[in-house]
Amino acid sequence: MTEDDAGDADPGQLPAVGEAVRDTACDRVGRVTGHEGPYLQLRPLGGGREWDAEPCRVRALSQDELLSALLAEVNARSRQRA
What's the domain range around 19? 6-81
Average pLDDT over residues 1-13: 50
Domain harbouring 11, CATH code: 2.30.30.140
Q: Which residues pair with 28 in a beta bridge?
A: 23
Distances 29 to 7, 11, 44, 54 between C-alpha atoms, Å = 17, 20, 6, 14
Q: Name the average pLDDT for the chain.
A: 87
pTM (2 d.p.) = 0.78
Task: State the Cα–Cα distance between residues 45 and 37, nearest whole angstrom.
Answer: 23
Count of domains forming the chain: 1
The reply to whether 1 falls in a domain is no
Question: What is the pLDDT at residue 80?
Answer: 84
Average pLDDT over residues 7-14: 61
